[in-house]
Structure 1
């Protein structure tokens, strides 16, 4: 066999590394990855073990807070603090002693028919009929200085408010239209028109009272909304699930019996087209 020539002087022969030099780093990396994985798994197990305890603790705290909130609200109602605070709050928000909840704009037709006769009633003269078309604004409110009652029964707040009142009708005198519907040469229609003018405000005030039925339910809802806003300002979200039932004192007869069933108002309802 031919002899293998020797390497030139100064040139090193490159060969494979020993197996021990390769296995040791790989084993170290594997060991570290296993250690990290074990730490992560251990942390997850510990958290999962502690989670039910934390949830239970938070649940107990929420329950305690809810009970304390209910007791605080009940105590405020039983001591009369709520009623005093409500009247102060309402006066501050409204800026006066009245809680105005509705205005009603209408054009009223006011008529007057005048009869007359001669000869001690034996000769009847033709009637004179006059009318006035009056644009008028009615305003409805509750008196904050009148008697209010706020009581609590379970989670229902019973509000007994004063009767609904109508303010003095607001009339634009320049927009009133007067007409003579029936006259006679034997009668003085101007005198009849003057009598109608003198009676106008009294007639409108009477109409304002008649129209209370149109705004009563609107007043009930807005009063309930107002009371709910007050309760939220005083007790926060503890009163979110409370129901509010509003009655007016003019809904009871002289014996104290209700003239109509109580109306529960728990959520804002759609309102009629009244300002």
Structure 2
């Protein structure tokens, strides 16, 4: 178990802005600004980015779960912070940092699961869309409501438009309406919706994380990287690229072990090589 905090945590805050705990190959990052619905302040984003970089280098971690403390997952950017410092420099820093954080989630070698309860709005919805998988409570709600306050969700649009069909993304962006978890599931924004209480959401998320963590870490890294590279390619180029990935993957020690274990009807023993 471990906990980390950004050094810029306000002095009147008893808890760190970000919590981390590890176990059984799974890292948990908990956004920890519950009174602000885990709004993404600069300090919080810096803390998340630092932990993502540390997790990416940690061979013991095979899966990352991102969750929020309190009543919701994440309400997006800290609008009060953006209002308090109207300088272009601060605004550029804020959105550049957010973009780098989201890209770090996608680029992380480990698969990432968003565990969502309450609201996930604007950059919070962007974070869900940036994760590889998402499990949501039945009462979770998702939205890109920036248009309602005169600030179109342009950066959240990048992740959202890559996670859900175009017309559904445009409806969310143009209306600013919140959508319920079952509709987010139908759109493909989340993988699973869990009825019941917080314990049920935790159980479903932990089960999914454990199932992914049971695989070869090297194969997971290879597959995740290949997925995001090929998805942007023309069809023929994607097949050429992934055929090469398959050939390389066949040379892994874990592939030899996995195929052997399958043929011998036993459980594979992964080495990460």
Bigger relative contact order, structure 1 or 2 (CA pairs below 8 A, ≥6 apart): 1
Same fold, TM-score > 0.5, yes or no: no
Larger fraction in strand: 1
Larger radius of gyration: 1
Under a length normalisation based on structure 1, what TM-score does the superposition of the two structures give? Answer: 0.20
Under a length normalisation based on structure 2, what TM-score does the superposition of the two structures give? Answer: 0.20
